Structure 1
């Protein structure tokens, strides 16, 4: 009986070969690596990820401030920055995730979505970047029109960003051997921290007066590195999906999706834990720069400097935390991160009141979110079934989107009522504490199913609790 045929990477190029002579730890989904081949793959994904992180920083950093300048309320900001995008997320992410698990092309099942969405992400970012300057010079516009226009462009951007923003995370388990996923995610997190440092330290102050040029440069850089990644990172061959050959039915797809993803009670606590943890940061994502400017009196440069030092912390800690994830298991490290998030936010709510205390709080938050971030994707890999990974990840994203859509508008309305951005910390504290409760339920069920030694992810056909 012949050995399995795989795509083999020893250097820059791939070739078809028989799977033999190398440890199985270097094999994944029809791909076989040598250590240099695996390192090169990680480097190329890292270059794409660097562009992705820079690109994804733009809207969250600048759009709330630009909308506020146009007279938008916190509720309006919450609806357009968070609620509408996550309602779209509830529609788009399950569809592309379900279909990407079943797609079979020469480029793979994930890469076509990443490559096809990139030009549209770039186009909308360029339009968003130049809209404030255009509207400022258009005196004929009604006062309300600029913020509506900017909000709608943001929605257009989010439609295509949601495609790459979900699918790019599904790519990693398909091309990185599971044994190395913790260390890979540490490097991925390190890349994000490095991008965050560069963005906060230099690009954020530049954008205060040159917004259009900043959006144009970063979005074009993102397009270039994503195309580079798509041309140089290959996916392996996947077995045909279980429903291959069956006629496509939208109603049947929806029925199959919900039956598969939400019929296994074991996963409920995992989905809820992740949703609550993500919701905990929604108000910080929307209002942190406004808090620094309007409540603490910081300039763009001062805020960027503090966030930049947070990026340095992330760079220094990402790889050691990745080693801890591989050593102690992702779930345990993630729970430790949740505990630290609760403690730091409680401290910050009562003690942050100026530049120095905001700096200390931001550095501590950078530490705890580095720990939590490095463990997040390995938690997904450890808990969810590999054959349905994209589909179950999107089921988590669907619940998360419902929470975020409600809490985005709700958080904006809450801060319109409170008129005090200090409560960003209390919001984070309460939702993270609730996520810890969901973790307790998940951890007990996980242990009953074998824990770190013998856990096997329940499949859709196995619907026992």
Structure 2
């Protein structure tokens, strides 16, 4: 990998941003140029970082579900902490971090510092979660006679560390895709995201096959070991992936403190809402992602309610990941060829039908197993197929800013739907098949929105002639 400072920037030279190996011996994106071997090396480091990231992600969320229930949290609290809190933090921190990253210029680039610095702090929080019982005893000792019972103290400790962990995970997550957008040529970005998905699913298979069945008894060791893997692996990616050169950022706002604070906020919303097409992208992403939230937020209590073992649940997750891995590169190729919007539309239509069927029949281990695997495979098609949608549609110069705006809108679904679903389950006696029904209804709404988005995309030039509107 090498950079060429005098070549056109990605903001002024679309061909350089896209990269076409048929026209030269190099793959190019912005001022970066890769031989095929260099591109493979880049992919290897990015995928290694993604593996470390996803081993962490695959561990913390199902184990957090399990521990919150073990510590006697209600479904409402479970939905708030595991899904809504990360979304709320993303809504608050994402725009700030993304704009700072877009405008940062330094020795390490504009993305790497925002990925590298939060990593050791998130690792420390994971290790702390592993020591929840011991830290809860310390808390009880500090509180003295008026201390809550052991379970409540453990809930307080784990919940606090979970929130701390999520803050620094959100900071890194806000710019991770921005790094990919800056260093991966757009000609292969759909297939790269397919490889990204394969690595993510592979991490899921490893976790569910070898760790999940032992999580209840050994969650401390799992948190500590996977936290260290994440810290080392992700830091290695940050050190070995090099960014190119970027045009100078907009001049810093001058004037009174209030002006310096308010003007960037006004510019953020003004630019992200500059064209109605972007609002339809945001809405489509929010509803599409929200369709899978009801099951993903409550699958663990669902299986407990029908008497399914955690080992079988882990096997089902591994099966869905294996099927998704076999499809991922093909789905990425389809996204490059036919466009992510079309793939998302197809996936949501299929999911609406499957979920509404599952809401009627998934009442025992066998029927739930079929429905759950179908849920996992179709959601995998959606996530893999639409992974390159933002890089294909947003302006490259301010990609992280627009992606964070999409994240803010996504957060509305993540904040509202899981706790509302949890409250509904609390009120209806925990009939967990209703999660499929709600997911199917949201997916059907998503189909309508994706159809509208696709029509507007065609008006703006479609797959061959689209350029981001201003």
Task: Map 1:309-328 onto structure 2 (within 5 A).
Answer: 309-328=319-338
Are 2:458 and 1:447 equivalent residues in the alignment? Answer: yes
- Count matched residues: 443
For 1:231 and 1:74, the matched residues in 2 are separated by 41
Deviations 1:95-120 (A, max 9, x none): 00111111111111111111001011
Among 369, 373, 379, the alignment partner of 1:363 is: 373
Name 2:18's counterpart in structure 1: none
Name 1:206's counterpart in structure 2: 214
Task: Map 1:27-176 onto structure 2 (within 5 A).
Answer: 27-132=28-133, 135=136, 141-143=147-149, 144-176=152-184
For 1:228 and 1:31, the matched residues in 2 are separated by 20
Among 268, 275, 291, the alignment partner of 2:286 is: 275
Q: Is the 8 A contact 2:27 2:185 kept in 1?
A: yes
For 1:451 and 1:377, the matched residues in 2 are separated by 18
Question: Structure 1 residues 24 and 349, CA, compared in 2 at 3 Å: closer, same or farther?
Answer: farther
For 1:297 and 1:83, the matched residues in 2 are separated by 27
User: Once the 2 structures are TM-superposed, how far is the Cα of residue 245 of structure 1 from its aligned partner?
Assistant: 4.8
Task: Map 1:279-428 onto structure 2 (within 5 A).
Answer: 279-293=290-304, 295-418=305-428, 419-428=430-439
For 1:254 and 1:174, the matched residues in 2 are separated by 24
For 1:149 and 1:445, the matched residues in 2 are separated by 49
For 2:291 and 2:315, the matched residues in 1 are separated by 24
Root-mean-square deviation (Å): 2.2
Q: Is the 8 A contact 1:415 1:421 kept in 2?
A: yes
For 2:137 and 2:441, the matched residues in 1 are separated by 40
Task: Map 1:15-34 onto structure 2 (within 5 A).
Answer: 23=24, 26-34=27-35
Structure 1 unpaired stretches of 5+: 8-19, 460-465
User: Once the 2 structures are TM-superposed, how far is the Cα of residue 62 of structure 1 from its aligned partner?
Assistant: 1.3
For normalisation by structure 1, the TM-score amounts to 0.90
Give the stretch that moved more between structures: 50-59 or 366-375.
Answer: 366-375
For normalisation by structure 2, the TM-score amounts to 0.90
Q: Is the 8 A contact 1:124 1:153 kept in 2?
A: yes
Q: Is the 8 A contact 2:29 2:185 kept in 1?
A: yes
User: Once the 2 structures are TM-superposed, how far is the Cα of residue 275 of structure 1 from its aligned partner?
Assistant: 0.7
For 1:393 and 1:221, the matched residues in 2 are separated by 27
Secondary structure of the equivalent of 1:244? coil
Deviations 1:386-420 (A, max 9, x none): 11211111111111112321223222211111221
Name 2:245's counterpart in structure 1: 237
Q: Is the 8 A contact 1:48 1:225 kept in 2?
A: yes
Task: Map 1:223-262 onto structure 2 (within 5 A).
Answer: 223-241=231-249, 243-247=250-254, 249-262=260-273
User: Once the 2 structures are TM-superposed, how far is the Cα of residue 218 of structure 1 from its aligned partner?
Assistant: 0.3
User: Once the 2 structures are TM-superposed, how far is the Cα of residue 139 of structure 1 from its aligned partner?
Assistant: 7.5
Name 2:16's counterpart in structure 1: none
For 2:371 and 2:24, the matched residues in 1 are separated by 45
